[in-house]
Each structure stands twice: as structure tokens, then as C-alpha cells.
Amino acid sequence: MTKNLFCNILLLATLLTPFTLAATDKNTGKDPEPLVFWAVNEGGAKIYQPNGTACEKISGLSVQYAEGVSDKFKVPAYTLKIKAIKPSANQSTCTLMIDTPRGLKECALGSVIRMFGGDYLAHTYQQFADGSVKFLAGECH
């Protein structure tokens, strides 16, 4: 009886002890660069600066981004696939390598949008320090 009571108290103490999980960069041992919040779109999704950390989270293309690339190369949006994501030298942005039916295209990235399901997608709008915005979908070569 005493052993069960001790085990229950130990379990309760363990469950009540606060803890945090922190991801670290395996190569440097430092915490990764934080996401830099830019805006909320009209639907309420959060938009982030495409820094190294945000770019690592990208799992697909936003509808607007896919439509821009699709229109530029005259290919169906559903055929576009991210082949690679290349961070810039200073990790302040990244470039997407997109596989299209017309070959591999290197495309600029404006921002990273976090959808309500938690997915991070390549997005089209780039925001500047003065608050101005540029639409980048389809800026590929």
C-alpha cells in the first residue's frame, strides 16, 4: 500500500512539473532563428518572413502562389511540385526549385503562410520595411 502511494505521488509530481521543449540546430547547438510575423491575411491565416526557419517548414504552395506559377508557364497548378528549397546565404529568405511539366524552375518566394491546419506554405506577398507589399507569384526563371 505504501509503495503504491509513493508511486502515485511520484507520478503526480512528474505530471505537474512544467517543462518546455526546445528544438536546436543539430549543427550549431543553438536555438533556430524564430519565425518573424508579418501579417494576417483576410482569412485569418498568419504570414511570416521567409527566413531560414520558416523556409524549412514549407510543405507546399499556397493557391495564389501555385496559380501565379501555373499562369506564367501555362501548366496546370496541380502538376507543380517543390523539388528543393534553397536558403539564401544570410538565411533571410529562400528560393524554391519547382518541378513543372516544362522543366525545373527557380522561383522567388515572397512569404510563408501558416494555414489553420498547421501547414506552412510558400506564399506570394513580400513585405518591405516601409510596409509596402509586392506580389511575387510567378517570378521564376
Q: How confident is the model at residue 37 (pLDDT cuts 50, 70, 90)?
A: confident
pLDDT tens readout for residues 69-81: 999 999 999 999 9
How far apart, in whole angstroms, are the C-alpha atoms of residue 61 and residue 81? Answer: 8
Q: Are strands 81-87 and 58-61 parallel, antiparallel or unpaired?
A: unpaired
The answer to whether position 24 is within a domain reads: no
The answer to whether position 58 is within a domain reads: yes
Domain that holds residue 113: 33-135
pLDDT tens readout for residues 13-26: 433 333 333 334 44
Per-residue cell: 140: 521564376
The answer to whether position 78 is within a domain reads: yes
3-class secondary-structure state, position 100: strand
Per-residue cell: 100: 513543372
- The count of C-alpha atoms lying within 13 angstroms of the C-alpha of 43, restricted to the half-sphere facing its C-beta, is 6
The answer to whether position 140 is within a domain reads: no
The answer to whether position 50 is within a domain reads: yes
pTM above 0.75, yes or no: no
The answer to whether position 11 is within a domain reads: no
The answer to whether position 110 is within a domain reads: yes
- Apex 85 CA angle, 27 and 135, nearest 5: 130
DSSP notation for 31-53: PPPPP-EEEE-TTS-EEE---HH
The answer to whether position 4 is within a domain reads: no
Report the domain count for the chain: 1
- 69 phi/psi in degrees, rounded to 5: -70, -40
